[in-house]
Amino acid sequence: MTMLRCGVADIINGTNWMHYGKKRHDYRHGLLHTVSHYSFFKDSPKWPASQYHLTYGVLQSTPVEAIDPVARAFKTWAAYSQFTFSQAETLADAKIKIRSERMDHRDGNPFDGAHGILALAFSPTNGRFRYNVDEQWSVGAKPCVVELETVALHEIGHHLGLEHNSIKEAIMYPLIDDGATKGLHANDI
């Protein structure tokens, strides 16, 4: 099985940023004590408070099969965050723009062909979200291909300000086995 990864860097100028900005959130509910660990991007970029409802648009270059898994991923994040989401009527109105790209898509973060970097999203308020068109994508778990909704959950996490997580079970972990699916983990929320 091949380990595939997100295109957001973990090591920048020789420094591992995966643990930068780690926040500890301590929740006590009766006898149950849980701790959530997640990391924010360096300098903690955020959407303005007036923009907690985010719109997204899917460019025509993106296969139609990707639309429903992306919508489900936004719905999942809406259930566990302060954000709400809807599909914009026009691409110009979208805060997050989703497209499929190949190799060098002129943003300084080129894809590497198949079996490597799956997708790339930027921190708030940069709304770019790119799927690598050279990967083999699926709706639902299938052997030796990449599941669209799992990758969308991960990349949307970046748009909400989350950095990579060192917990392998977390959606914000930067690597995933081909054929695997994941949902949000306690360490993502």
Q: Is 113 annotated as a binding residue?
A: yes
**Structure token pair of residue 15:** 């420094």
Q: Is 112 annotated as a binding residue?
A: yes
Q: Can you point out the beta strands (E) in the chain?
A: 3-5, 11-12, 15-16, 22-29, 32-39, 53-58, 84-87, 96-101, 119-121, 128-132, 137-138, 146-147, 175-177
Q: Is 107 annotated as a binding residue?
A: yes
The vertex-135 CA angle with 110 and 156, nearest 5°, equals 70
Q: Is 161 annotated as a binding residue?
A: no
Please name the helix (run of DSSP H) or strand (run of DSSP E) that holds residue 70, with its range, or none: helix 67-80
Q: Is 18 annotated as a binding residue?
A: no
Among residues 147, 149, 155, 163, the one annotated as catalytic is 155
Q: Is 37 annotated as a binding residue?
A: no
Q: Is 164 annotated as a binding residue?
A: yes
**Structure token pair of residue 119:** 């997708």
DSSP β-ladder status, 146-147 and 137-138: parallel
Q: Is 172 annotated as a binding residue?
A: yes
Of the candidates 146, 150, 142, 153, the residue with the CA atom closest to the CA atom of residue 132: 146
Establish whether 163 is a catalytic residue: no
Binding site, annotated residues for Ca(2+): 112-113, 135
Residues serving a catalytic function are 155
Binding site, annotated residues for Zn(2+): 105, 107, 154, 158, 164, 172
